[in-house]
Amino acid sequence: MENKNLTSGNIRKQLAALTLPLLAGSILQQFYNTVDALILGRYAGMDAFGAAGVAGTVMNLFIFILSGSCSGMTILFAQFYGRRAMDQFRREVFLTLVWGGMFTLAISLAAIFSAVPLLKLIHTPAAVLPHAGNYLCIIFAGLPVTYLYNLFSSILRSAGNTKAALLFLAAAVFANIIFDLIFIAGAGMGTKGAALATVAAQLISVLLCVIYIKKCYPELLFTKNDMHCDKAMAGRTLSFSFASALHQSSLYIGKMMVQGSVNSLGADAVCAYTAASRIEGFANSFGDSGSQALSVFTAQNTGAGKMKRVRAGLKNGFILLSCLGLFLSLVMYAGARPFTALLTGNNQPSPLTSGTAYLRVISVFYPLCFIGNAFVGYFRGTGRVNIPVIGTTLHISIRVLLSCLLAPSLGLPAISLATGAGWAAVVTFFILLARCHKNTTQK
């Protein structure tokens, strides 16, 4: 059992120890999604492959509302853990399980009924629409399972244990591959089979999480004495959860609007963007994992009142993520064509060319993306969860506006340029705010 107090010790080693399992988990999650797309492309055709990409954009809007909520809860859990307030920790678990579960059921129903209208709103090609609609309805019915996995993973991360959730995710990925082969390749169920495989695999990971926490971390689970509503805690939980959910969902609202610009370019552009987005997902895993690790570290030390370690954590996280961003920028640029060909195949010349151009342009801006992730982790961990929301709003406004203006004439590379411009604006905004915050927290 791994149970880490991050309020003392070597900061670099602690950030690395937190980040590596999170990174492996993020890569596994991307692999999870990519396997669906690959098997669909091979056994159900390119329309089903494109549907996975379009559906993913809509799906992530709702999934990241839930995972964003859990990210906000992770900050509260970690702050309670940092000051060893375990009674408050357990009450927080009770509140998030009950009220978060009710919220998830409402989101699930709303998502099922809005799936097809949203697909039409973003101009999904007619050949792709039925495949994407079938996929989304099943995925949305399984959102309560997704929420439970994110919640229990948040509990483990807040205690400094990022390895257990990784192992359970690995089990889910393996199960997903098996189910994909059974439902898609074997039974010919197409996108319905891919969705069923995903929900079934996630259920396995939830069961493993529950068993593990109950056996190894019983002190983190609520008891009968913890089952009551603390109004002040409920208000703070709602504030953190709402801000974090808004941060994640607004990002994907922007991506949905960008997907609309891509869809207007035709089916080949949709396939190219689907492939490029999957590749981007692997690169983004590094930045997202570093950001989450920095959040947990910062939250524990903020809870313990150790602001000097908080500032040192930001410095170390900034250096780590900047170096990773530069490295991945070079890798993406050099490997743009072979990476795209791996997903589209060499017999699809138009998607291959467009996807390669998209990746080469956006790779230039990746260091900015990773620097932004460092600041997101810092602001979240200190409890200023509204700052990432403002930054994301700025980013998507620039991204969507420039995508709409430039895509008709420049094609997919316009989406890359628009995204890079948004990252540049956000990083400038974060740097200015971080300097102001440093001046107010000096001790």
- Nearest-angstrom CA–CA distance, 54 and 191: 12
Residues 325-370 have pLDDT tens digits of 999 999 989 988 888 887 776 666 677 888 888 888 999 999 999 9
Helix, strand, or coil here: 167?
Answer: helix
Instruction: Check residue 429 and give its pLDDT.
Output: 92
- Nearest-angstrom CA–CA distance, 60 and 255: 9
Is residue 4's pLDDT more than 70?
no
> Position of tokens 């990971």?
205
Residues 201-225 have pLDDT tens digits of 989 989 998 899 888 888 888 887 8
Residues 57-66 have pLDDT tens digits of 778 778 878 8
What's the CA angle centered on 378, arms 375 and 383, to 5 degrees?
125
Do you know the residue count of the chain?
443
Q: Count CB-CB contacts under 10 A for residue 282.
A: 18
Q: Count CB-CB contacts under 10 A for residue 29.
A: 17
Average pLDDT over residues 378-402: 88
Average pLDDT over residues 134-162: 87
Q: How confident is the model at residue 33 (pLDDT cuts 50, 70, 90)?
A: low
Whole-prediction pTM: 0.75
What average pLDDT does the structure give for the chain? Answer: 83
Among candidate residues 441, 430, 158, 433, the one with its CA nearest the CA of residue 308: 441
Q: Count CB-CB contacts under 10 A for residue 229.
A: 11
Q: Count CB-CB contacts under 10 A for residue 415.
A: 27
